[in-house]
Amino acid sequence: MHRLPTRTLIAGCLAAATLSALPASAEVRVFACEPEWASLAEEVGGSDVTVYSATHGGQDPHHIRARPSLIAQIRRADLLFCSGAELEIGWLPVLMQRGARLGIQPGQPGHLMAAEHVDVLDPPAVIDRSLGDVHASGNPHVHVGPRNIRLLATELAARLSAIDPDRADAYQSRLADFHARWDTATAEWDARGEALRGTPLIVQHAYWAYLFDWLGLERVASMERIPGIPPSAPHLQEVLAHSRSTNVKAIIRANFEPTDAAEWLSERSGLPIVELPSTVGSFPEVTDLFSFFSEILTRLEAIPDQSASVPGIGRPTG
């Protein structure tokens, strides 16, 4: 568990607020590493924030180049909001070293790493480069669990209030509104998810741990024997054999992941491929965090009848 007591975090933020509070007329500039955090910042910050997302819905956030445009954006940021848990280890440290302000450095109110404030799944027992793309702090894709989003909205509001105390009431008001809408949506999603509980699936990468934990889905196999390393032919043959001996319903892949392994397995097993949105903006209909989870459920719900009418679900035609 990596979560700190909320009152401790708020107290720490308030104690540091005198170092980083903005002039009353200035908008808070948020640098979000991923679109899901940009979307949440817009929900809680509203018109009082300007949000920049370093990545978009079609990118793998593990592999981003520290471009000059990103350096320019992070130099102006008042709040840094990222997944953490080493997800951005290949590029964020470079940006931070190139002139990030004191207020967004670790330990400051403007430094918010999502994985530090939720229960992180799958911390590895052993850290070894031979094991591939293993995150020492656990699975960083915490945004795929709706209850994590609720916790992080609360933490974000506390950080914004510390950085921008003159508008603290506005942030807390938007937080209350977001919580009310989110709780209603989550109750609906939970009800829809009951029919999916126990569905056996094959995944391409360990991206969906929080989704599987929330919905009670069963991960039968992973096409990546070593995380982050393309699957070998012998391993894919093992997965194929396993799929034929179990009641697997589908192959799950994120929209940004390569298609060749999933298509190879689908052609030989007859299993449909279900392409899920990895974040906000992955598909045109996924415009915010609400439509993100709704679209994931819609695509999963189409698995039993293997409907070809839902975009992103079906067998290859070739």
Structure tokens at 273: 């491929």
State the greatest distance between any 2 C-alpha atoms of the chain, in Å, as a whole number. Answer: 64
The residue with greater pLDDT, 111 or 99, is 111
Determine the pLDDT at residue 284: 97
CA dist 270 → 147, 260, 316 (Å): 34, 15, 9
Beta-carbon count within 10 A of 200 CB:
15
**Which of 2-16, 32-46, 154-168, 200-214 is least confident?**
2-16
pLDDT digits (tens, 9 = 90+) for 279-311: 999 999 999 999 999 999 999 999 965 434 344
Task: Tell which residue, 275, 278, 273, 313, has the closest CA to residue 292.
Answer: 278
Q: What is the 3-state secondary structure (H, E, C) of 33-70?
A: CCHHHHHHHHHHHHHHEEEEECCCCCCCCCCCCCCHHH
Mean pLDDT of the chain: 86
Domains 6-188 and 197-314 share a fold: yes
**Which of 9-13, 154-158, 174-178, 266-270 is least confident?**
9-13
Structure tokens at 171: 């942030």
Give the alpha-carbon dihedral of 227, 229, 230, 235, to 10 degrees.
-60
Please state the CATH superfamily assignment of the domain spanning residues 6-188 in this structure. Nitrogenase molybdenum iron protein domain (3.40.50.1980)
How do strand 28-32 and strand 79-82 relate by DSSP bridges? Answer: parallel
pTM: 0.86
Structure tokens at 306: 């293997």
Q: What percent of the chain has a predicted confidence (pLDDT) above 70?
A: 82
Determine the pLDDT at residue 304: 62
Statement: residue 14 has pLDDT above 70: no
Statement: residue 24 has pLDDT above 80: no
CATH number of 197-314: 3.40.50.1980
- d(CA 289, CA 231) in angstroms, rounded, equals 31
Cβ contacts of 231 within 8 Å, gap of 6 or more: 223, 224, 225, 239, 261
- d(CA 22, CA 159) in angstroms, rounded, equals 12
Q: Where are the domains of the chain?
A: 6-188, 197-314
- Is residue 160 exposed (0-12), middle (13-18) or buried (19+ Cβ within 10 Å)? buried
Determine the pLDDT at residue 11: 45
